[in-house]
Amino acid sequence: MSYQTILVEQRGAVTLVTLNRPQALNALNSQVLSELLEAMAAFDKDPTQGCAVITGSEKAFAAGADIKEMQAQGFADMYGHDFFAGWDAFTRTRKPVIAAVAGYALGGGCELAMMCDFILAADSAKFGQPEIKLAVSPGMGGSQRLARAVGKAKAMEMCLTGRMIDAAEAERAGLVARIVPAAELVEDAVETAATIAGMAPLAVLASKEMVNAAFETNLAQGVQFERRLFHALFGTADQKEGMAAFVEKRPGAWSGK
Ligand code: HXC
């Protein structure tokens, strides 16, 4: 498949997607969205692929939704077409997706990173929701995901002032899983993704689903959801294999069943 705004490469069981609109600092326009959705759907369906990494350039993961595309739109265009609703499909990707962020992750760029399952940040990363400076607001889930990730105080400050935070502040706040030297970011992310892709596939899907349930349920419902999925994993061949492999002191060989 050939795309114009993204590059897609398979490295073993890892799909590496690189946002590729350098002239616009990877601003997310409708073409990026449709190409990304197609690439993610193909990744999700491909039994040889276990985890994806989304990255940008050294300068920018993505500097936001495309301001030039939105500039002339009115309420009827935005509401009538439910602008940005297409991004919901991205969050329905069942296999794990890691955001590897170097440089700017602003507005929709920060929101895309937060739609991924976790963020690895280069020491050069900068996160922000600067839409307020354009007299608008986050529109791809940023106000909700940022508040859940960093808490009300920092989310509110960032959305109301547009202040960017650097990688160290983002890590302290819980927005990113880990900081990596910029030169090692993509390799580290691919290696992390390969580790995930090397786990039993059904346990990976279940683990992603249960952590995500923490954001959609109350505690008792979430714990019950976790327990039921945990029970279900005992119906898989890979559970038998995983526990036998541990007892026999050898690596597990997964069937995905
Ligand atoms: C369209 C963008 C863009 C964007 C940068 N560019 N960000 N184009 N949409 N979000 C373009 C610039 O117009 C410029 O094109 C080229 O990329 C390089 O950008 P510069 O500004 O010249 O680079 P620099 O001086 O290094 O500044 C980097 C920057 C700045 C600080 C990241 O570009 C910036 O502030 N960008 C906008 C960030 C932002 O507001 N993001 C939120 C967008 S709204 P030309 O053709 O001039 O060379 C959003 C909405 C979500 O995400 C929901 C709300 C509706």
Q: Which helix (H) or strand (E) holds 32?
A: helix 30-45
For 117-145, b/e burial (b = at least 16 CB within 10 A) is: bbbbbbbbbbbbbbbbeeeeebbbbbbeb
How deeply is 199 buried, as exposed, middle or buried, from its count of CB atoms within 10 A (0-12, 13-18, 19+)? middle
pLDDT band at 2 (very low <50, low <70, confident <90, very high): confident
Closest-CA residue, ligand 1 atom 43, reads 64
Do strands 104-106 and 60-62 pair parallel, antiparallel, or not at all (unpaired)? Answer: parallel
Strand residues in 20-114 grouped as ranges (E): 51-55, 60-62, 97-101, 104-106
Measured CA to CA, the distance from residue 224 to residue 7 in angstroms comes to 40
Measured CA to CA, the distance from residue 103 to residue 101 in angstroms comes to 7
pLDDT above 70 coverage of the chain, percent: 100
Closest-CA residue, ligand 1 atom 47, reads 24
Average pLDDT over residues 65-85: 96
Contacts (Cβ under 8 Å, ≥6 apart) of 28: 19, 62, 64, 65, 66, 108, 109, 112
What residues act catalytically? 65, 108, 111, 131
Give yes or no for residue 1 having a pLDDT over 80.
no
CB 17 within 8 A of CB 8: yes
Give yes or no for residue 151 having a pLDDT over 90.
yes
Average pLDDT over residues 53-61: 98
pLDDT band at 58 (very low <50, low <70, confident <90, very high): very high
CA of 61 from ligand 1 middle (Å) equals 12
pLDDT band at 123 (very low <50, low <70, confident <90, very high): very high
Phi and psi torsions of 198, nearest 5°: -85, -5
pLDDT above 90 coverage of the chain, percent: 99
pLDDT at 103: 98
For residue 129, the ligand 1 atom closest to its alpha carbon is 42
Give yes or no for residue 134 having a pLDDT over 80.
yes
Closest-CA residue, ligand 1 atom 50, reads 65
**Model confidence over 177-235: pLDDT tens digits?**
999 999 999 999 999 999 999 999 999 999 999 999 999 999 999 999 999 999 999 99
CA 43 to chain centre: 14
- How crowded is residue 256: how many other Cβ atoms within 10 Å of its Cβ? 12
Measured CA to CA, the distance from residue 217 to residue 209 in angstroms comes to 12
Phi and psi torsions of 240, nearest 5°: -60, -45
Average pLDDT over residues 61-71: 97
Phi and psi torsions of 81, nearest 5°: -95, 5
Q: Which helix (H) or strand (E) holds 167?
A: helix 167-173
ipTM of predicted assembly, 2 dp: 0.96
For residue 84, the ligand 1 atom closest to its alpha carbon is 53
Q: What is the mean pLDDT of the chain?
A: 98
